Amino acid sequence: MAMTEKRRVLYRQGSGFWRMTAKWALFFGALALLDGGLLRSWGDALVWPMIGILLWVPFGIGVVWYPKKDQKVVLTTRELRVRRKRLPMEKVNLLHVARLWLEGRSTADGGEPVAEWARSERLVWVPLWDGRAFGVEFRDPAAFAKVLGAFAVEACGGPDIVRARAAAETYPEPHPTRPRRTADANDGSWLDVLDIFD
């Protein structure tokens, strides 16, 4: 498989926490300046920062309680990083990813075309050569699927080589790995994204 040696960053997803906080501060700060400087007094304008803080608190708590949607994800030519965990590209079945991408599909659950994904779909399955596939959650899964699909085609040598290899080679069909059961069978836990790196 033709793999480039350069560690190019193909996809990056940050938490979005500080960007959202900065926008929040700018918006309510501008309201305070407008209210205090033009409409009413500076004492009355203090109500806007207070409203902003009260509305921001649920957002901050939500990010802390549900970090997977906004977890840091970086895809390079050598590895996939989710938070501090790393998965080498050598373990990823890029041929399967490239084949699906050339068919207009991707590794979302069910293999639906990216353009037809429901907005509620956030999980992209990363297939491994051993037949397993693990879900990674994204804010914009279609964007990641496009980058991963295009990279897989390039890494495998191009569309013609992908089609030839897909027709000649056999590998186990990737199946999504089910959530690991914990001691408490009723805890309702979902698939641990970091299982992919075990």
User: Do 114 and 149 share a domain, yes or no?
Assistant: yes
Res 190: pLDDT: 39
43 falls within a domain: yes
What is the mean pLDDT of the segment spanning 24-47? 88
If asked whether residues 186 and 124 sit together in one domain, one would say yes
The answer, yes or no, to whether residue 41 has pLDDT greater than 80, is yes
- Same domain assignment for residues 183 and 90: yes
Average pLDDT over residues 78-101: 90
> Both 83 and 142 in a single domain?
yes
CA–CA distance from 82 to each of 44, 66, 79, 96, 147 (Å)?
45, 15, 10, 21, 16
Residue 11 lies in a domain: no
- pLDDT tens, residue by residue, 119-158: 666 778 889 998 888 888 887 788 888 899 999 999 999 9
Residue 5 lies in a domain: no
Claim to verify: residue 32 and residue 91 sit in the same structural domain: no
To the question of pTM greater than 0.85 for the whole model, the response is: no
Both 89 and 142 in one domain: the answer is: yes
Q: How far apart are CA 64 and CA 104, in angstroms?
A: 36
Q: What is the pLDDT of residue 15?
A: 67
76 and 115 in a single domain? The answer is yes
Residues 117 and 59 in one domain: no
pLDDT of 27 strictly over 90: yes
Mean pLDDT of 81-106: 88
Q: Beginning with the edge strand found earlier in the chain, give each strand of the sheet holding 132-137 in spatial order.
A: 123-127, 132-137, 175-176
Q: Is the pLDDT of residue 73 over 50?
A: yes
Task: Determine, yes or no, domain membership for 8.
Answer: no
User: For the chain, how many structural domains are there in total?
Assistant: 2
Domain that holds residue 163: 70-197
Provide φ and ψ at 190, rounded to 5°: -100, 180
Residues 134, 99 share a domain: yes
